[in-house]
Amino acid sequence: MTRARRHVRRAPPRKVATTRRRRVVAARAHGKVNLDLRVLGSRPDGYHELRTVFQSIALHDMVTAQEKAGPFVLKCRTPGVPLDDRNLVWRAAAALWRALGRAGDPADTVVTIEKAIPMQAGLGGGSADAAAALQVLGRLWGGAPLSLLREVAAGVGSDAPFFLSGGTALGLGRGEEVYPLVDLPRHWIVLVRPPFGVSTVEAYSWYDEDRAAGVREPRIDVQILPVPWPSRAAQMINDLEAPIARHHPEIDQMRTALRRAGALAAAMSGSGSAVFGLFQKRADALAAVERLSGSGWRVLLTESLDRGDYARRSRPMLRRRAA
Ligand code: ATP
């Protein structure tokens, strides 16, 4: 056999595509921080009336929905994440299924959550996952208008409607009434998460105890951000911070450490336990990360997202996989 002939290869016969393609839709579920959070009072329904300023961040979980015959299944490898109707994604799926007029329980779908947002940290991970699930399931289940997703989101969790639009926004009521604000110019954000979490229920019960006992909160300096932005709406005051810091003094230490490490402003996010600091320059934020690492706290670097960025990054992506 000559050298030339040895190298002759016949093209393999083309495979006829017999495998069915399964549709898969995935979306990023970006977290948030609260640039301000005021508790205006208690409501007859047991919730608190709030005025808060939400800010989207780049740190995100990933939510993927895939067609698969059989009952609805929720998957997540992170320990501590419930995989039943205690998970906001499960509740979002069930509520959307009903809102689309389908009978019984959701079916023929597997949803996978990949967590990166620390839990019980006030970063809105569960609500962000729920909103992302509404987006991907709406797409997978034949389309759902945004107005319907907003309605369903409000029933799933107070913060969930915010995650359907993101950016910088005002939250009223329980936080479910969302109004877009002028977006915060991009900031680098250093997140610090202590070894303990705080549940939302615990946070508000400590707040109520302090009110009932007539505790006077220490005055926290108003931190106006030195940027061309109508920052009076967001003075980095969180009314839940002092009651939580009374149970976990580390919260105060974390805020002080962030300011000392160069943050323009620092505050606890939502109902804690994460504290965040804002930086204009990436190098300064990186220096703070360096300085705070070794503190025993989990330290993460992320950045703020405006509404446009948020819409681009959190858009559902359609893929097809062999069945
Ligand atoms: P928020 O900022 O809205 O107060 P959080 O960041 O404090 O939320 P999450 O991480 O959203 O808290 O979740 C808190 C608890 O909710 C978890 O401990 C878990 O038991 C439950 N949970 C429900 N759905 C999810 C989810 N998709 N991901 C993580 N936790 C979830």
Q: Where are the domains of the chain?
A: 21-181, 188-307
pLDDT, tens digit only, all 323 positions of the chain: 444 445 555 555 555 445 567 899 999 999 999 999 999 998 998 899 999 999 999 999 999 999 999 999 999 999 999 999 999 999 999 999 999 999 999 999 999 999 999 999 999 999 999 999 999 999 999 999 999 999 999 999 999 999 999 999 999 999 999 999 999 999 999 999 999 999 999 999 999 999 888 887 766 677 877 777 877 778 899 999 999 999 999 999 999 999 999 999 999 999 989 999 999 999 999 999 999 998 899 999 999 999 999 999 999 999 877 66
Q: Does ligand 1 come within 6 angstroms of the Cβ of 176?
A: no
Q: Does ligand 1 come within 6 angstroms of the Cβ of 125?
A: yes
The one-character DSSP state at 10 is P
SS3 262: coil
Helices 125-140 & 88-99 angle (0-180, nearest 10) = 30
Helices (H), the chain: 3-6, 88-99, 125-140, 146-156, 200-212, 241-247, 250-260, 282-292, 307-314
The atom number, within ligand 1, closest to the CA of 271 reads: 4
Determine the distance separating the centroid of ligand 1 and the alpha carbon of 17, expressed in angstroms.
42
The atom number, within ligand 1, closest to the CA of 124 reads: 2
Can you name the CATH fold of 21-181? Ribosomal Protein S5; domain 2 (3.30.230)
- Reply yes or no on whether 306 is catalytic: no
The atom number, within ligand 1, closest to the CA of 199 reads: 7
Under CATH, which number does the domain 188-307 receive?
A: 3.30.70.890
Q: Does ligand 1 come within 6 angstroms of the Cβ of 119?
A: yes
Q: Residues 77, 79, 84, 89: what is their CA dihedral angle, to the nearest 10 degrees?
A: -70
User: Which of 36, 159, 239, 252 does the annotation list as catalytic?
Assistant: 159
Task: For residues 230 and 247, give the distance between their C-alpha atoms in angstroms, rounded to a whole number.
Answer: 33
Q: Does ligand 1 come within 6 angstroms of the Cβ of 167?
A: no
- Reply yes or no on whether 85 is catalytic: no
SS3 270: coil
Q: Does ligand 1 come within 6 angstroms of the Cβ of 36?
A: no
Task: For residues 72 and 138, give the distance between their C-alpha atoms in angstroms, rounded to a whole number.
Answer: 15
